[in-house]
Chains A and B, each alone.
Chain A
Amino acid sequence: KAGVTQTPRYLIKTRGQQVTLSCSPISGHRSVSWYQQTPGQGLQFLFEYFSETQRNKGNFPGRFSGRQFSNSRSEMNVSTLELGDSALYLCASSLRDESEQFFGPGTRLTVL
């Protein structure tokens, strides 16, 4: 089976712009989660989607949003980018509630 894929792998944006990141989970996985990883804050949970519904949400401002499509692919959008949004954004999928998560390689976002 193919692993979790994320596109693009690298992205450079300027403050005020918006960005959309994409994640394709492992085939058959209906849960997709997004995380922000920074050296200072560690791994922070953004949100989780299950069967096209947002099931859990972390403590991020409304500029961060996401969605999941019927084929389980997910997108994450960040509007009005700030310098502090520079981070590695990780997507993970899982098969069942008690299952481990499989992580993609991440999208490295740099905001200038």
Chain B
Amino acid sequence: AQSVAQPEDQVNVAEGNPLTVKCTYSVSGNPYLFWYVQYPNRGLQFLLKYITGDNLVKGSYGFEAEFNKSQTSFHLKKPSALVSDSALYFCALGGGYQKVTFGTGTKLQVIP
């Protein structure tokens, strides 16, 4: 069975500082990995994905994520946090013939 873990319920970071939101996964075979963001009272929006290729993936709004196969991780990063980045972030695994499994979500709070 596949699984996704987001070990932090909440991450607090000062505006302008780098941010990291952690995600680890477990799956047999090659993973499809995604990050989504949910702003208050809005649906989920796609940020970035890893299917194959370069381990460093760049996405929307200046976010990037690094796929690390040996550590089975796919952490979301941004060099300089903005207050407007405050939202709920979900890591997801799967797609196609594999059902999509979402992590429990990490609330990111960027402090002015």
Contacts and interface: CB of A to CB of B under 8 A. Distances in A.
Question: Do A and B come together as binding partners?
Answer: yes
Interface of A: 4, 33, 35, 42-45, 48, 55-58, 90, 92, 94, 96-106
B105 to A, nearest CB: 6
9 contacts: A4-B43, A48-B100, A90-B44, A92-B44, A94-B95, A97-B32, A103-B43, A103-B45, A105-B42
Main secondary structure of the interface of B (DSSP, over half): strand
A43 B99 CA distance: 13
Contact of A45 (B44, B101, B104): B101
Given A43-B105, A103-B44, A104-B43, A98 B96 contact: yes
Contact of B43 (A42, A45, A90, A94): A90
Contacts of B49: 98, 100
Nearest to B90: A43
Q: Which of B32, B97, B100 neighbours the largest number of chain A CB atoms within 10 Å of its CB?
A: B100
Contact of B95 (A35, A58, A90, A99): A99
A105 B102 CA distance: 18
Contact of B100 (A4, A57, A101): A101
Contacts, number: 55
Contacts of A56: 97-99
B3 to A, nearest CB: 12
B76 to A, nearest CB: 14
Contacts of A35: 102
A98 to B, nearest CB: 5
Given A98-B96, A101-B44, 13 more contacts: A33-B100, A35-B102, A42-B104, A43-B90, A58-B99, A94-B95, A97-B97, A98-B49, A98-B95, A100-B46, A103-B36, A104-B43, A106-B43
B46 A55 contact: no
Given A43-B90, A94-B95, A101 B101 contact: no
A62 B38 CA distance: 29
A80 B33 CA distance: 35
